[in-house]
Each structure stands twice: as structure tokens, then as C-alpha cells.
Structure 1
Amino acid sequence: MEFLRLLLLFLHFIGMAVLIGAFIAQMRQKPEDGGRRPSAGILHGALTQLITGLALVGIREGALDMPVDHVKIAVKLLVVLVIVVLALVGRRKSLNNALFGAVGVLAVLNVAIAVFWR
């Protein structure tokens, strides 16, 4: 089970890299029609983070009996859900620059929560 946990953690990091990388790459492009449509990379990175994060919590609590800070996980879950909703809405209708920027800020916030919340 430890190998599965490490594999999920690796995929979680990949999702984070894809999300933030796609956001930075898209920030360099000019907005179209006064707004931006989040790329598929942003959506897929956020969904990867969501799915692997939930799986990591399940593995830690269920199979490995490792402690989990439920408040921290709830905050991180809320942040990634907002990112997913913004990405889904933005795929249908362009987001204004403030909402598009919020996607990047929230992604970095989630990393900061993971690192600094102890």
C-alpha cells in the first residue's frame, strides 16, 4: 500500500505542475474578446489534483492508518473545487481577467496550504 500512496502522491504533484504550468503558459497569451478560456491543461490538472487528493486521503486513513488533518483537507478540497468550477465555466464562456487570475492564485494557495499548514 505504501507504493500506491507514493504513486498517488507522484500523480498529485504532476497534476499540480500541469495546472500551474498551463496557467502560466496561458497568462503569456493575449486575452481574446476581453476574457480568457482556461485551457484543457488547467482543467485536467485540477481534476487530477482533486481525484488523487481524495484517493490519498482514503489510502492514508483506510489502509495505512496514518493521521489526516481533516480541516486542512476540507480547505484544500474547497479550493480545488472552486478551481474546477471556474475552469468548467470558463471552458463554456470566457472568464474575465480577474476570475482567470483567481485560478492561478488559488492553485498557488493550495500549494502553500500543503506546505505551510502543519
Structure 2
Amino acid sequence: MEFVRLLLVFLHLLGMALLVGMFLVQRRAPADAPLNPGWLHIAALQLITGLALQLLAPATDAEYNGMKLGIKTLVLLVIGGLALTYVIRRVPAPKWLPPSLVGLVVVNVGIAVFWT
């Protein structure tokens, strides 16, 4: 069971790094390019691995702060909602969108690290 937990943690951390990487990919896109669908896919990876870790907690004797996880989930849902809105519409991504998305990712990482 410990291997499964570690695998989920690995994928969750990889997802955070991929979201920051997606910001760099989006910055290289032309100004009139739509939002890269990778934002949505990686946000889904984050959500699935985070929920799996939380559901696996009783089996691994891990304890998680429910308030912290709720806020992190809410921030991730905002990221996913913004990504979904602009991926579906296929309109040029506004200039404020990629920095806002990566800012929300950084906030989520900060909550994960500094909120004990």
C-alpha cells in the first residue's frame, strides 16, 4: 500500500511541475493562440491524484487537514474552470490568463508546503 501512496504523491508532485511547465509552453505560443488543453488535462491529473491520496489515507494511516485540502481543491477547481472555459471556447487566451493560472498553482504549492 505504501508503494501506491508514494506513486500517487509522485504523480501529484509531477502534476504541479507540469502546470508550471504549461505556463512556459503557453508563453511561447503566439499572442492569438487559444489556451493549451494541457492545462485542463494536468489539472484533472492533480484532482484525481489528490482525491486518491485523500481516499487512501485510512489505509495508510495518514492524517490530512480537511480545511487545507478543501481550500487546495477549491483553488484547483478555479484553475480547471478557467482552463475549461477557454479551452472549450477556442478563443485567443487573454494576456492575464496564463499568469493568473500559474499564480494559482503557486498559491496551491504554498498552501501545501507552509500550512501544517
Q: What TM-score, normalized by structure 1, do the two folds share?
A: 0.88
Give 5+ residue unaligned stretches, structure 2.
none
Which structure ranks higher in relative contact order (CA pairs < 8 Å, sequence separation ≥ 6)?
Answer: 2
Q: Does 1:59 align with 2:56?
A: yes
Give 5+ residue unaligned stretches, structure 1.
none
AA partner of residue 75 (structure 1): I
For 2:12 and 2:35, locate their aligned partners in 1 and report how far apart those are by CA, in whole Å: 20
Equivalent residue for 1:100? 98
AA partner of residue 72 (structure 1): K
Determine if contact 1:83/1:103 at 8 Å carries over to the other structure: yes
Q: Percent identity?
A: 46
Q: Does 1:45 align with 2:65?
A: no
For 2:34 and 2:50, locate their aligned partners in 1 and report how far apart those are by CA, in whole Å: 25
What CA RMSD, in Å, does the superposition of the two structures yield over aligned residues? 1.4
For 2:88 and 2:107, locate their aligned partners in 1 and report how far apart those are by CA, in whole Å: 25
Q: Does 1:80 align with 2:76?
A: yes
Equivalent residue for 1:6? 6
Task: Report the CA distance between 1:108 and its aligned residue.
Answer: 1.0
Q: What TM-score, normalized by structure 2, do the two folds share?
A: 0.89
Which segments of structure 1 move beyond 4 Å, counting only runs of 4 or more? none
AA partner of residue 49 (structure 2): T
Task: Report the CA distance between 1:37 and its aligned residue.
Answer: 2.6
